[in-house]
Amino acid sequence: MKKKITIILALSALFTLTCFTVFLLHSKDASLVFPSLPQQVVKGSRSVFGKMMDHIRVKKIPDVSRKTAATSAQPAPPLDPCPDSPLSLVGPLLVEFETIRSLQWVRNQLGSVLQQGGRHKPPDCTARQKVAVIIPFRNRYEHLTHWLYYLHPVLMRQQLDYGVYVINQDGDGAFNRAKLMNIGFVEALKEYDYDCFVFSDVDLVPIDDRNLYRCSDHPRHLSVAIDKFNYRLSSVTAFGGVSLLTEEQFLKVNGFSNTFWGWGGEDDDLYNRIIVRGMSITRPDAGIAKYKMIKHGRDLHNEVNPENAVKTKKTAENIETDGLNSLNFTVKEILKDVLFTLISVDVQAP
């Protein structure tokens, strides 16, 4: 009798063991069975269990996720540099400001391809330059909306690694475009290793995307032919509107002067600084560097300041002590929109 019971027990134990082994071999989720199995065994062991688990894993995890897991461990290989002449450019553009556009509508149009703060870089090549676009701003939301709607696609097609910085003057003291530009330069550099700075009015939209927002060996003036001036350069020394300097060039001239309150003169003073520091300016061909300026009157608290014209005669005296090295301001707020970074600042207006 005892012998029979022992045989029955032995047989049932053998049966249970066999069932368990079969379950192991066909189990879909190996981790349930071997929760503490180290990852490398699953991936690469040549042991019988290892091979078995690998097989199970392959079934469970589709190839794509295996690839992702593999690439996330190693840095992606560097992309080739973007072509010198981007292939996606289209040339002349249709630009009009009659259509009423809201910021939300522009967000809906472009938001999905941008990164927070109005940033973008080409997905398939390494951009030739890292470009910060600085816009001096106060109370021109309608202009900003048009600008963002038209410029983002242009900058993307130009394959730049770029960010848009709207520097908003807080309060209603005298406007100071130049100081806002200096602040934009300093603040953008805190965020990213930009090497080229575009200083652009909010109301200027290019009408040809071959006009590249890229720095060159000398400071560059892009807004050559504006509709407001019948597409003619207003003067050979003009440097207002849209101008570009590398970090090195901007440091060399000590940035803009901080002391041009109200309208006028700060662009001429920057031109003088460039000449005083032994550089010259370059411009694209007038047939390409064409712009439309959104129509506007003179803003409140940005009246013509006659003192500014006088000051442009003294650039050489002031360049050493008035500029980036004497800049003081207070950041009131930094707001990250998908279309831009808005930095509100107290410029300490007199």
252 binds, among Mn ion, ligand UD2, none (CB under 5 to 8 A by kind): none
**What does 129-171 look like in DSSP terms, one character per residue?**
-EEEEEEEESS-HHHHHHHHHHHHHHHHHTT-EEEEEEEEEPS
Residue type, 9: L
| Complex with Mn ion: residue 59 or 296, whichever CB lies closer | 296
14/254 Cα distance (integer angstroms): 87
Closest CA to 180 of 349, 6, 350, 3: 349
Q: Is 298 annotated as catalytic?
A: yes
Least separation in angstroms between CB 202 and Mn ion:
8
Identity of the residue, 19 or 304, whose beta carbon is nearer to ligand UD2 in the bound complex = 304
Q: How many CB atoms lie within 10 A of CB 277?
A: 14
Place of tokens 């890292």: 130
Q: Looking only at residues 296 through 325 of this chain, which bind ligand UD2 when binding is defined by CB under 6 A?
A: 299, 302
Regarding 203 and contact with ligand UD2 (CB under 6 A), the answer is yes
Q: Per CB under 5 A, does 203 bind Mn ion?
A: yes
Could you give the CA distance from residue 126 to residue 321 in angstroms, rounded to a whole number?
A: 38
The option from ligand UD2, Mn ion, none interacting with 136 (CB < 5 to 8 A, set by class) reads ligand UD2
Catalytic residue among 266, 268, 269, 322: 266
Does position 177 interact with ligand UD2 (CB under 6 A)? The reply is: yes
Contact region with ligand UD2 (CB under 6 A), list: 75-83, 195-203, 310-318, 336-344: 195-203
Burial class (CB in 10 A: 0-12, 13-18, 19+), 350: exposed
Check 52, 54, 101, 293 and give the catalytic one: 293
**276, 319 Cβ separation under 8 angstroms:** yes
Would you give the binding string for ligand UD2 spanning residues 227-266, x where CB under 6 A is met?
A: -------------xx---------------------xx-x
Q: Please state whether beta strands 119-120 and 161-169 pair in parallel, antiparallel, or not at all (unpaired).
A: antiparallel
- Taking CB under 6 A as the rule, does residue 208 contact ligand UD2? no
Candidate list 120, 138, 210, 273; residue touching ligand UD2; CB under 6 A: 138
Q: Residue from 106, 152, 162, 201 that binds ligand UD2 (CB under 6 A)?
A: 201
**Where in 139-158 is the site for ligand UD2 (CB under 6 A)?**
139-140
Quick one: DSSP state of residue 295?
A: P
Determine the Cα–Cα distance for residues 38 and 16; give it in Å rounded to an integer.
27
Per rule CB under 5 A, is residue 267 in the interface with Mn ion? no
Catalytic, out of 119, 146, 187, 203: 203
For position 266 contacting Mn ion by CB under 5 A, the verdict is no
Q: What is the DSSP string of 44-93?
A: H--SHHHHHHHHHHHHHS-HHHHHHHHHHHSPPPPPPBPPSS-TT---B-
Specify whether 293 is catalytic: yes
> What b/e sequence results for 152-177 when a residue is b if at least 16 CB atoms lie within 10 Å of its CB, and e otherwise?
bbbbbbbbbbbbbbbbbbbeeebbbb
In the list 86, 117, 122, 136, the residue contacting ligand UD2 (rule: CB under 6 A) is: 136
Cβ 214 vs Cβ 160: under 8 Å: yes
Name the one range near ligand UD2 by CB under 6 A: 46-54, 115-123, 136-144, 281-289: 136-144
User: CB nearest Mn ion: which residue?
Assistant: 203
* CB distance 252 to 299 below 8 Å: no
Binding site for Mn ion (CB under 5 A): 203
Active-site residue set = 201, 203, 263, 266-267, 293, 296, 298
Binding site for ligand UD2 (CB under 6 A): 135-140, 175, 177, 201-203, 223, 226, 240-241, 263-264, 266-267, 299, 302
